[in-house]
Amino acid sequence: MTEMVYGAVPVRDGEPVLPKWWRTIDKWSVSCVLILFGIGILLGLAASPPLAEKNGFQPFHYVHRQAFFGGLALAAMMLTSMMSPALVRRLAIVGFLAAFVALILLPVFGTDFGKGAVRWYSLGFASLQPSEFLKPGFIVVAAWLMAASQDINGPPGLSWSFLLAIIIVAFLAMQPDFGQACLVLFGWGLMYFVAGAPILLLLGMAVSVVAVGTFAYSNSEHFARRIDGFLSPDVDPNTQLGFAANAIREGGFFGVGVGEGQVKWSLPDAHTDFIIAVAAEEYGLVLVLCIIALYTAIVMRSLLRLMRERDPFIRLAGTGLVGIFGVQAMINMGVAVRLLPAKGMTLPFVSYGGSSLIAGGIAVGMLLAFTRTRPQGEIGDILRGRVR
């Protein structure tokens, strides 16, 4: 009876896991992620040797580490993408709780590595940034609560998810890490919008964000310094934004040539937050447009697949994950061209960073698991049934 009402995709009984995974996965999105990772290794070969020399390491020390952590990230992505949505949800809840506890304990056991914000745990051989792992876990938990609130006699999931978002944002602001806080709020707001939030409520949230931003500007020297630097009509050529802007101008359309760029010798974060400046200088606008096209392809293909999904939890979780993925990439590139204030945010799968790479692999793995073709009807089947 269910198939008669909703329609169904034929099920292949006894099909092995790998062939089933390959048949149902979004192969284009997987290909785009692999290309982005390859570009990240290529840019790491150019951007990281100056930092390795400064710190007394072998020239390609950071490239080797990026390849190692990237390999772990890709393995995590593939394994997560093979899971069922129910299993992804269960693991996301456990991961979220662990990351949330780690976030709470940061003021006690964390370190700032001289950057003015306590965001990391120093593990000796590497560092761990809890907020990177918290984001995908929160998105899935919030989507679960929102979807549950749509059930008859369901819990007040919208209110609970909002309260959870506010608590997380408060702990992130204490670090301070306003970039990740904004990303968490954006992900929650996007899912709430898809879940059917009133426009007036969203406008009220926007006004509240402006009010909180004004308060932060008045009471946080870290926040005020970044906003003042962004609003200043003149860019100090000796700042990171100044070096990045000059590198992008020098690169032009085709770049100055492989290995000929100079910005990597001036920018301490050339291999992380400002990797796009290295790409623009050495390879020009051509490579930058290719990178933008790859991110756009992942976002658009995921959204198109989610539009056909009839499970509210999968729709909400997938939308939130692809939203924060795309916006993080946009913020990173926007900072480099001075369209946005400095945020300290990496470029997914391209920038160096163990926590960023592995957490990004898990997040995209979740997204791929949610966008896989499953033996179920699509939301269009329900709409057509209602019309009839």
User: H helices of the chain, where?
Assistant: 2-6, 17-24, 27-47, 49-54, 61-81, 85-104, 106-109, 130-149, 157-174, 178-194, 199-219, 221-231, 240-251, 275-307, 312-336, 354-370, 379-387
Q: Is the pLDDT of residue 91 over 80?
A: yes
Q: In whole angstroms, what is the distance from residue 383 CA to residue 153 CA?
A: 24
pLDDT averaged over the chain?
A: 85
pLDDT of res. 233: 58
Which of 268, 214, 213 minimizes the C-alpha distance to 241? Answer: 268
242 burial class (0-12, 13-18, 19+ CB within 10 angstroms)? middle
Beta bridge partners of 127: 122
Q: Is the pLDDT of residue 37 over 90?
A: yes
> Which long-range contacts does 69-73 make (Cβ < 8 Å, 24+ apart)?
69/353, 69/354, 69/357, 69/358, 70/37, 70/40, 70/41, 70/349, 70/357, 72/357, 72/358, 72/361, 73/37, 73/349, 73/357, 73/358, 73/360, 73/361, 73/362
Q: Which residue is listed with tokens 């916006």?
A: 327
pLDDT confidence tier of residue 387, bands split at 50, 70 and 90:
very low
Name which of 72-76, 276-280, 311-315 the model is least confident about: 276-280
pTM for the full predicted model: 0.87
DSSP state at residue 121: E
Q: Is the pLDDT of residue 215 over 90?
A: no
Amino acid at 114: G
- What tens digit of pLDDT does each residue of 236-267 get? 556 777 778 788 888 888 888 887 788 888 77
Higher-confidence residue of 79 and 150: namely: 79
- What tens digit of pLDDT does each residue of 319-368 get? 999 999 999 999 999 888 888 877 778 899 999 988 999 999 999 999 99
- What tens digit of pLDDT does each residue of 217-234 get? 777 676 677 676 666 655
Name which of 24-33, 63-72, 255-264, 369-378 the model is least confident about: 369-378
